[in-house]
Structure 1
Amino acid sequence: MDLTHSSEDIDFRNEVRAFLDAEFPQELAEKARTETRFKRDDYILWQKILAKKGWIAPHWPKEYGGCGWTPVQLNIFDEELTGVGAPRVMPFGIRLVGPVIYTYGTDAQKAKYLPRILSSDDFWCQGFSEPGAGSDLASLRTSAVREGDEYVVNGQKIWTSYAQYADLIFCLVRTDPDAKKQLGISFLLIDMKSPGVSVRPIHTLDGSHIVNEVFLENVRVPVENLVGEENKGWDYAKFLLSNERTGIAGIGMIKADLALLHKIALTERRNGKPLIEDPLFQARLARLEINRRALELTNLRMLTTGGDSGMFPSILKIKGSQLQQRSVELQMEAVGPYALPWQSDAMEPSWNGTPVGPQHVRARAPTYFDRRKTTVYGGSTEVQKNIISKTLLGS
């Protein structure tokens, strides 16, 4: 069911659809249709098209290049882009470090970095998690020691998504080893081409290479790349993670999942009838739809009120990641034996073999494997429940 009611919202949806009809590249549409993996150039191509339209960072303040859209319009935009299979706008620059820079950065940092984030001339990655500091992020050990006008950085980051593509990384580093662990952390911007930065790939169960290890060995970073005050990085990280957890809800993605699930249920059969007519399947699909709608309403509620409570992003993160998992789990069950065989190479642009199973059920297994991570990254479900508990009950 659509949450848009006003004529302005309907006009806006039509405007977005007309833009997509005219500007969404055919080669990207074909990759989306065949579930071929997008590469760096695909993301950059699409982001530059959005930037030319002025729609690359709609949630930013207008003074920095935002669109001034209402929460409902933001929701429509996300839904329509996901519906055509457009590559996701990489969140690291637009959703994560960009807002930190325009909120806490210097004028020089804003002038240097924000235009290049909007134009996609810089590809960012996020250096938070470490081998001994995942959910307990405040235990990070990567150090930054000041020497004159530079910091010398040593340490390791892990699960760094798209680091193999990145030009820059925003890092949490420890600048005061003697302070309470949350109080001795700073927020630093590091050029990935700096001497001493190296990237090692981590290949995941779905056959993809998205995440990486990043090693920092005596990397020299100008002090001017410090965002905000030294040892205040934990405050900036909490601000950033609120934006990340909201984005992780993936409402547009869940809507696309459910649309595909409807398509599967119309063609797959159980007991001689289309699966969509099976009462048990109908009940499970209805529960997903109800939960999806509740998630969308909660997201709109947070956007409308400004999201000041730390509880809302955590709620969205938990429920959104759970729904992303459950929707693809039901897809797996719906396609039956076609869910088992899959070909990782078939998702690469260079592959020209014969796929297994009908077109609309391809790649369910790797998607299922990939979605297992959603209840872990961006702060695990257990961490989010602690945040909600502290907000409701006090620390």
Structure 2
Amino acid sequence: MKINVRSGDTFWYYSQLYYIPAGLIIDSNPSLDPNGLIIGSEVEIPGFIKESYTVKQGDTFWKLAEQRNIHVDGLLLLNGNMNPGALKIGSTIFLPSRVTAPVVNGRQGYSSDILQRDLTRLKEIYPFIKLSSIGESVLGKSLYEIKIGDGSKKVHMNASFHANEWITTSILMTFLNDFLLSLTNMNPIRGIQAMPVYRGVTLSLVPMVNPDGVDLVLKGPPAPMKDQLLKLNKGSTDFTGWKANIRGIDLNKQFPARWEFEKERIEVKSPGPRDFPGDKPLSEPETIAMAGLAQEEVFDRMLAIHTQGKEFYWGYEGLEPSEAERLAGDFERVSGYRSVRYIDSYAGYKDWYIKEFKKTAFTLELGKGINPLPLSQFDEIYRDSLGIFLAAVYRWY
């Protein structure tokens, strides 16, 4: 929601008017000097949208402000020089509407178009988030990163490395939306206040690593590649079992952590729906982008979100730091998922991350069943995984 600065206005005054933490307002307006606002400047107020309202008989600014639990000056800011004592029946004014309900609907087939739409809307309502592209997929779709907060601790989460695990994007985007609602409404999530996390942690999310593959599973092959993809899929028009990117490369077998060993022993020797690690590590634009992000940021913790199995993996050849074991215990306790230190699988993002940076990294296998997991599992999966996400950003040793 946008307002215009008047004489004497400050970010701290706006914070009192709208019951929004001043830090969120400051971070929503990075180009403005919080100690010297210029009259007439446009200011973003996070957590609100501006609604048109037709004046009815008996309406006053004071009554409308009371109904919305906002100081009357919060309404006057939206309506310029209007005389508050002279509202005309049938005229249109603007009212601030606090956003208290989610924008994201995770209980649907979550394609790259829906992701882009939701990210655009979230950025409008919560302008303190930083939204950028870290690269592009094979077909030129942006690989979006969302950053929240600017604390010294860095935590990264990603989803949909594998195409038919797209429900992980739904889960991660739902967590993002709930975290943003908690920040602007100052409501705790499972007893945890969001603002201390915001101040202490920089949270990075890449909610869809493999947008081409996700769209293939949900929508079928794009027309220009239909024949090629049908051939890779052994003639089948059913792409629900497809894990790879659009070129038939398994993105989570693309990283230089015993890649040669994994390639040699794996039975799949050519591009297809799953398991082919490519002809060399980091051959795909999606994996190049994810490796580049990690090398640039060196996150303290990394969570790669997959399905299925109700378990998680956190070790790689003894290189994992000691905090990983303690955090694994927390994850196991809050989710009921099984903690597995080592697994006979290599060349994954988690493996490479531990090998490269000696930092804490996890592969989460949400839910249980056959991929793609049905949306009927969404609520259970979110309930189980929410505790993991919160522990990852809140629990420090």
Instruction: Report if TM-score (shorter chain) is over 0.5.
Output: no
Q: TM-score, normalised by structure 1?
A: 0.21
Higher helix share: 1
Determine which structure has more spread, i.e. the larger CA radius of gyration. 2
Q: TM-score, normalised by structure 2?
A: 0.21
